[in-house]
Structure 1
Amino acid sequence: MIYPIIAYGDPVLKEPAQDIPKDFPDLKELVEDMFTTMYHAHGVGLAAPQINKSIRLFVIDSEPMMDDEEKGKGVKRAFINPEIIEEDGEDWGFEEGCLSIPGVREVVYRPERIVIRYFDEDWNEHEDTYDGMTARVIQHEYDHVEGILFTDHLSGLTKRLIKNRLNKISKGDVDADYRMKFPTVSKKR
């Protein structure tokens, strides 16, 4: 199943997600559907809030982000109830984008290395260290389950410069080659 991607402006993207219980129904199917949705939208990561599910789950496949020397070193994995327990190394900038914010790309600075504890879809616990591009993809998706968007990392000036584009996205005025769901705009007086 391919889910529509939730667009910028929907409250689900700004709420910290809930832990997933071990008896969560059809978890393996959901993980598979999330990979299918991510690939359909040409993404390298997808978090459950981006498909309107406020649970602590994201999937990544960092292989497309690897440069020529790193080919074959990408990571394809599901992260359930993740917790970043350490970040270190120098912060480095890279132009990030997001399936929920199509057409907007900005430089975000993140630590080069992380240690993360999580469960896979078989409920095996892992504690792994990642660096470089894979660490960045994980940090971006981890932010989603914390209710943080990459735009939250930008300077005040940059946020003001992209404000109109973000408002257009939230109203559905955007070109994306995948299905999206836009927040209902209601005016309170």
Structure 2
Amino acid sequence: MAIRQVREIGDDILTKQCKDVPRMTLRTKILIGDMLETMYEYHGVGLAAPQVGVLKRIVVIDVGEGPIVLINPEIVETSGEQTGEEGCLSVPGKWGIVTRPNHVKVRALDQEMNPIELEGEGLLARAFCHEIDHLSGQLYVDKTEDGLHDVTYDNEEDEGEEETEE
């Protein structure tokens, strides 16, 4: 496996439609492994194939419950609403407020090309929507409610300061 270069906003590949994956090949298996390794290296919760320069309908997600691989995913049902901060490995150092469904049902193929159906709420629902949007050439930046903001880090913990409650 290898860490791949993450394409950044402004790269034309991020605006293109991806093609379905008709069958599993060694090349596709390697791509999936590389995508997972890249996502973990950059501390992301999801990564879509076009973000590493490949126009295939593949996404990987891990919201802390183990890796999910979706091939040819489609959203088949949504409900509820959530509004919150969203970022993207292809838009480094930025975040924006985006409203997404709070519950999402997805149909896809797994790594063995077997049909699967997954449901997610909260962060997982957000990740499903965000990554599947990438497969249609859409970035979250077009959905932000108040534009993009610079990521800032709270340094209090890094400086060794302790919080006390009175």
| Shorter-chain TM-score tier | 0.7 to 0.9
Q: 1:45-95 CA deviation, whole Å, 9 max, x = no partner?
A: 1100000001100101011xxxxxxxxxx2521100001111111x21110
Q: What is the aligned partner in structure 1 of residue 62 from structure 2?
A: 61
- List per-residue Cα deviations over 1:7-52 (Å, max 9, x = no partner): 1011111112110121544222211111101111111111000000
**Counterparts of 2:83 and 2:66 in 1: how far apart (Å)?**
21
TM-score by length of 2: 0.84
Name the CA distance, whole Å, in 2 between partners of 1:84 and 1:28.
23
Aligned to 1:81: 72
Alpha-carbon RMSD across the aligned residues, in angstroms, is: 1.6
Distance 1:3 1:129 in 2: 29
The residue identity in structure 2 corresponding to 1:3 is R
Higher relative contact order (CA 8 A, sep 6+): 1
* CA distance in structure 1 between the aligned counterparts of 2:100 and 2:143, rounded to whole angstroms: 9
More helix by share: 1
Runs of 4+ with deviation above 6 angstroms:
none
Which residue identity does 1:93 align to in structure 2?
Answer: T
- The sequence identity of aligned pairs, in percent, is 40
| Aligned mates of 1:17, 1:25 — CA distance in 2 | 19
TM-score normalised by L of structure 1: 0.74
Q: How does 1:20-169 map to 2 (within 5 A)?
A: 20-63=21-64, 74-89=65-80, 91-155=81-145, 158-159=146-147
Aligned residue number for residue 66 of structure 1: none
What's the CA shift for 1:4? 0.4
Per the alignment, residue 7 of structure 1 pairs with: 8
Q: CA offset at residue 154 of structure 1?
A: 2.0
Distance 1:58 1:43 in 2: 12
CA distance in 2, matches of 1:120, 1:109: 28
